[in-house]
Structure 1
Amino acid sequence: MGIRSDLDSNFDYEIVDEFLDHYSIMVDSMEVMILDLTKPNMYRQSVNELFRVFHNIKSASGYLKITSMTKLATFVEEALEEIRTNHTKVNEETLNWLLGISDMFAIWKDDLKSDNELTHVKYSLLKLPDLETP
């Protein structure tokens, strides 16, 4: 039994379906928002949108008791809060870390669609990058 079967057995089908629809949309939009962080005219909007995406994933996955997703979304949300309140641009290390995070959430999207167990988080993603810009 995979993650989708587990969710369907513990929650109303409509709630799970709505989560999967919204989750797919958020994951599909992450990479563009991350790349837009490199554009000065898009930075503020993109960092705020990314923060909202991870906040929403944290809340929804928390409700559905998807612990690993909730923990990673919380970790990323906290990093994005630091970035949006104390920085005006991101460095290459942070950009690459965020792209890796986006890839992890995309892998989980595939796990959910295929009804697999959630793939373990890559250890390298659990190390916060140096957020300071040169």
Structure 2
Amino acid sequence: MGVRSELDANFDFEIVDEFLDHYSMMVDSMEVMIIDLSKPNMYERSVNELFRVFHNIKSASGYLKIEPMAKLAAFVEDELEELREKKPPISEESINWLLAISDMFAAWHDDLKADRELSKIKYFLLKTPDLEK
């Protein structure tokens, strides 16, 4: 049984469907916001929006007991909190790390749609980048 089947078995269909709709929109928007972090005039808006996206994923996946997703979202949220205090631009390493994080959440989106088990978190994602430029 895949993660979607487990969600459907344990939660109201409308809750699961709403989560999947919102999750899809958040995953689709991540990459553009991450790339916008390299633009000084877009930095503040993008970092705040990314923080909100990961906060929402953390909350919703925590409620639905999707533990790997909730834990990684919380981890990224903490890093974004630090980035909110930084002035642009951020390091290329930070942008590449966030793009890899985005890829992980996109893979999970595919897993959910195909009703598979969630892909394992890639170990290198757990090593935070140097936030200093």
| Coarse TM-score class (shorter-chain normalised) | over 0.9
Aligned length: 133
- Which 5+ residue runs of structure 2 have no aligned equivalent? none
Following superposition, which runs of at least 4 residues in structure 1 exceed 4 angstroms of deviation?
none
Give distance in 1, aligned partners of 2:119 and 2:78: 22
Deviates more, 1:64-73 or 1:87-96: 87-96
Report the counterpart of residue 80 of structure 1 in structure 2. Answer: 80
**Equivalence for 2:70:** 70
Deviations 1:4-61 (A, max 9, x none): 0000000000000000000000000000000000111100000000000000000000
Query: In the alignment, residue 49 of structure 1 is paired with which amino acid?
Result: E
- 1:60 is matched by which residue type in structure 2? A
- Aligned-residue Cα RMSD (Å) equals 0.6
Percent of pairs with identical residues: 73
- Contact kept, 8 Å, 2:34 with 2:46, in 1: the verdict is yes
Distance in 2, Cα, partners of 1:62 & 1:16: 13
Question: 2 CA distance for matches of 1:115 and 1:88?
Answer: 39
For residues 30 and 37 of structure 1, the distance between their equivalents in structure 2, rounded to whole angstroms, comes to 11
Give 1:89 shift.
2.3
- Partners of 1:10 and 1:79 lie apart in 2 by 31
Shift of 1:90: 1.1
